[in-house]
A = this chain, B = another copy of it.
Amino acid sequence: MLTGQEYRASLRDGRRVYFQGRLVEDLESEPALAAPLAAIAGNYDKYYSAAPGAVNPVLLAPRSQAELRDRIPVLMELDLALNVTYQSLMTLLVAAPKVAAVAPEIAPRIHAYVDQARQRDLRVVECITDAKGNRSRPPAAQDDPDAYVRVVGRRADGVIIRGAKLHITAAALAHDLMVMPTKTMKPGEEDYAIACAVPVNAPGVHVTATTYHPLAGDPRDFPVSSQDSMPDSMCIFDDVFVPAERIFLDGQTAQAAVFAHSLGLWERLGGTSFMVVQADELVGLAQLIAEANGLARVSHVREKIDEMIIHATLLRAGLEAALTHAQATPEGYFYPDDMYTNVTKYQAATQFNTMVRHLHDIAGGAVVTAPSAADFDNPTLRPLLEKYMAGGDGVPGDYRASLFRAIRDLTADAYGGWHLVTNIQSGGGLFAQRLVTRRLYDMDRAKALALKAAGLPARPAAAETP
């Protein structure tokens, strides 16, 4: 396993990471990257064990419903780089037998890769979304055949890939990019049916980075994003060689969606858990600021907080149902029920903006106009701000202002914007979640219930739609 310090050293590997147009020579010199890098390093230290053969315990799959349930608070504490590493490795393990059915040589490759990734204590990020060009067309019908990542050359010892993957969280700070097809592929799209692990520093890989870390200003004004935000990247594969032992799918179009589907299983566990906690956090913030404003007993404020409570509890119910009905892969890895998880994510995503509105409605305009932390440092201003930002009944001005700053950072600035967008888009977007729900729902049961409720027989057999 790696210490935080060893992790830091491991990133000095010649990678081409760009930030605001600059090729970043030293990631730690760029504050927007250094902060999340430090958070990742901190977790390396937290989980470090010098014992021979030790691996990070969070990288093991849950083997029972109880282990699955116990995993949730652990996942909530991970940095996003470690979280996606977990998801990536689990995805490979679940996909292995399905791909092996048509390409038996692949299963041992996958197990070998996962073992060494655990042994070397790597951070592996998931690369799903392609550039896509015109998004209403399939890969083979694009103006630019590289709009989806594809194999453009073959050598005896591997393949050469070209294309780009978008929205890759933590790519700039990880070791390997786990490239997977974004969707099912059809015959004739064999070159697009490619899954493989690519080192971030492989020749031909270029990684941009966008950040939700405060670009400037006092970290105290950004109490959350200065600690928790993680850069997203576009990863460009400009004719990158991938050796055979790192190829996990190559041309098996019928299995192309296996990876995305497997990834979904694990991604949703973390994503849904996060959203459940996020909903409770918003309730808590609303209550704290209502109390600080002296408004916690005002009827319309309570009604809004009630709605936030009901929302948060519904989401928690969805997670509970997903855990109660957890299912196991053939290998015995437990994952939350698809249907309940999907529905919970959908509900969380569609209602999040309204919950933010309630919070802003309750808190007031000082969410964006409250004096900054540095203003409180100014000796002239401090007594005036303490006096005028105070909430009465002994609520200190600085405490109240710090609540406003936290609300702004979480919901009304760059990091809040990242949540607004990613809550909707993670896991494939709202429409994808509707499609999954439609597919999983037991419509035959619903139709039978409807006929029974209506006191009707089934539709005459001769009349069935084929």
Is residue A134 within 8 Å, beta carbon to beta carbon, of the partner chain? yes
Which residues of the other chain, B, contact A255 by a CB distance below 8 angstroms? Answer: none
Is residue A142 within 8 Å, beta carbon to beta carbon, of the partner chain? yes
A447-B284 in contact (CB<8A)? yes
Which residues of the other chain, B, contact A445 by a CB distance below 8 angstroms? Answer: 280, 284
Quick one: copies of this chain in the complex? 4
Name the CB-closest residue of B to A225. B455
- Which of A56-64, A111-119, A188-196, A371-379 forms part of the interface with chain B? A371-379
B293-A135 in contact (CB<8A)? yes
Query: Out of B284, B375, B396, which one reaches A448, CB within 8 Å?
Result: B284
Which residues of the other chain, B, contact A384 by a CB distance below 8 angstroms? Answer: 164, 206, 236, 238
Which residues of the other chain, B, contact A368 by a CB distance below 8 angstroms? Answer: 210, 212, 232, 417-418, 421-422
Complex interface bits, A158-198 against B, C-beta within 8 A gives 1, otherwise 0: 00000110110000000000000000000000000000000
B18-A450 in contact (CB<8A)? no
B365-A281 in contact (CB<8A)? no
Which residues of the other chain, B, contact A402 by a CB distance below 8 angstroms? Answer: 454, 456
Is residue A410 within 8 Å, beta carbon to beta carbon, of the partner chain? yes
Complex interface bits, A440-464 against B, C-beta within 8 A gives 1, otherwise 0: 0101011111110111100110111
Q: How many residues of A sit at the interface, in one of the four size bands?
A: 35 or more
Expressed in whole angstroms, the minimum distance between the Cβ of A364 and any Cβ of chain B is: 6
Which residues of the other chain, B, contact A296 by a CB distance below 8 angstroms? Answer: 465
Complex interface bits, A344-374 against B, C-beta within 8 A gives 1, otherwise 0: 1011001011101100110011111111111
Name the CB-closest residue of B to A417. B412
Q: How far is the CA of A146 from the CA of B392 in the complex (A)?
A: 11
Is residue A157 within 8 Å, beta carbon to beta carbon, of the partner chain? no
Complex interface bits, A232-274 against B, C-beta within 8 A gives 1, otherwise 0: 1110101000000000000000000000000000000000000
Task: Given the known inter-chain contacts A21-B378, A456-B406, please indicate yes or no for A365 contacting B317, CB distance below 8 A.
Answer: no
Is residue A152 within 8 Å, beta carbon to beta carbon, of the partner chain? no
Within 8 A of B (CB), among A426-451: 429-431, 434, 437-438, 441, 443, 445-451
Q: How far is the CA of A163 from the CA of B323 in the complex (A)?
A: 49
Name the CB-closest residue of B to A346. B310
B284-A449 in contact (CB<8A)? yes
Expressed in whole angstroms, the minimum distance between the Cβ of A186 and any Cβ of chain B is: 19
Expressed in whole angstroms, the minimum distance between the Cβ of A258 and any Cβ of chain B is: 23
Which residues of the other chain, B, contact A408 by a CB distance below 8 angstroms? Answer: 417
A443-B284 in contact (CB<8A)? yes
Sample of 11 A–B contacts (CB below 8 Å): A131-B387, A133-B392, A134-B391, A135-B391, A135-B392, A166-B366, A280-B449, A309-B437, A314-B317, A314-B344, A399-B463
